Structure 1
Amino acid sequence: MAETIEILLAEDEPSLGQIIKESLETRSFKVHLAKNGEEAYDIYKSIQPKLLVLDVMMPKKDGFTLAKEIRQEDSTIPIIFLTAKSQTQDVVEGFTIGGNDYLKKPFSMEELIVRINNLLHRITLQQSAEIISIGAYTFDFPKQLLTHKEETLQLTHREAHLLFHLIKNKNQVLDRSMILKKLWGDDDFFSGRSMDVFITKLRKKLKQDESIQIINVRGYGYKLVC
């Protein structure tokens, strides 16, 4: 019998929360619904869910604050943000604090279910991956750790997966549209700007080895050269 996957859903709008809960439970997920950030954190501590779906704008504790607290305890649990915000800085903030994906309201239940399943599959692949060497660095993909000599950096989920795909396509162009759809779920303007920010972050974290470069191939994508 397949394992029942428990999901924590934090949504302060009662009708929407109930619709999402019922929709996910028809797909055999077990959903714990919280109406604010504080209640969501208490549920998280008590059940240790496999995935979090967090509304950004909530009373008592917003989704970003809640995610930051949870990330201090668990660096790998998948987090999907639900947001009415669509500004680039909001999207980037969500990913920077450790969000794995986001959905802009209004959204379809089918899209949410697809993104949940994709994230769970991606986490399974990550957990089975090996430690990778890149130049003078060691990249522990399962733990999202990048080590250079005695210094170890904790990467966000998005940084880790972007670096993983760059390494797997080392010295080849990583198609911009393909990776945006794979990791961001969309290749629109906001997703593209968000990816550019994460490329800049990775360049800074790899700067200790001058033989490693992430090159922007205009009109096509990025290439990691080592």
Structure 2
Amino acid sequence: MHKILLVEDDIDYGTVVKQYLEISGFDVVWTSDSIEVNALFEQHNFDLAILDIMLPIKDGFTLAKEMHQNHPNIPFLFLTAKNQNIDRLLGLKLGAADYIAKTCDPEELKLRIDNILRHTPKETTTVYHLGIYTFNPTLLRLEHPKRTYQLTERERDLLLLFIQYDQSILEREVILNQLWQSADYFNGRSLDVFVTRLRKYLVDDDTIQITSIRGVGFKINLNL
């Protein structure tokens, strides 16, 4: 079952779209709060996002820019009453797979979604074995013989970067620029929090080491 994120602040319209898509076989997570979107991406593996444009605080175009940067493999479309040609062109330039007016028939919306998903390449799942752990990045899952850790997307991305640099030194600036897009002080503190979390998850295997190198970054040994 495909999971869809619906960002729509019109309660009546959002209810209709969510119910129709669920009847059509989709798993829909609906939010009317554009600020909540980043947190939802940490919690779910979405196959597609539907964005309204006229949202309070953070509009749909801004969300699209963030999505295209942080989740480039997830297609999104605009479903909006803002239907002037200049808006449609901007939406498509931002990478939208489609731009649909809210006057669209629900069945047409479903068919357009089906068409997008049909032409979206499916990622092959690579499972990594880190010592006694099994790491499935697609499912955001780190499995210990006795327990399973459900990772956030940021934790997943950081662990993937550690795998890429296994047996090597990984500089802090490289991590910050790749995952946070900025190597400032506050992002650096956030990085330290995520490294601490991964160390706690991996603590039961002494062969796995994420060693801090002061002023440089980390020496990685994941026992791959």
Interval containing the TM-score (normalised by the shorter chain): 0.5 to 0.7
| 1:1-226 → structure 2 map (5 Å cutoff) | 8-9=6-7, 33-34=8-9, 47=21, 54-56=33-35, 63=36, 67=40, 71=43, 75-77=44-46, 113-121=64-72, 127-225=123-221, 226=223
Larger radius of gyration: 2
**TM-score normalised per structure 2:** 0.56
SS at match of 2:71: helix
What's the Cα RMSD here? 4.1
C-alpha separation between the residues in 2 aligned to 1:125 and 1:170? 28
* Pairs aligned (count): 161
In structure 1, runs of 5+ residues without a counterpart are 1-5, 10-32, 57-62, 79-104
Aligned partners of 1:126 and 1:141 also within 8 Å: no
> What's the offset of the Cα at 1:194?
0.8
> What's the offset of the Cα at 1:221?
1.6
C-alpha separation between the residues in 2 aligned to 1:144 and 1:150? 17
C-alpha separation between the residues in 2 aligned to 1:197 and 1:170? 20
> What's the offset of the Cα at 1:154?
0.8
C-alpha separation between the residues in 2 aligned to 1:216 and 1:114? 34
SS at match of 1:121: coil
C-alpha separation between the residues in 1 aligned to 2:17 and 2:188? 34
In structure 2, runs of 5+ residues without a counterpart are 22-26, 48-56, 75-119
Distance 1:175 1:136, change over 3 A: same
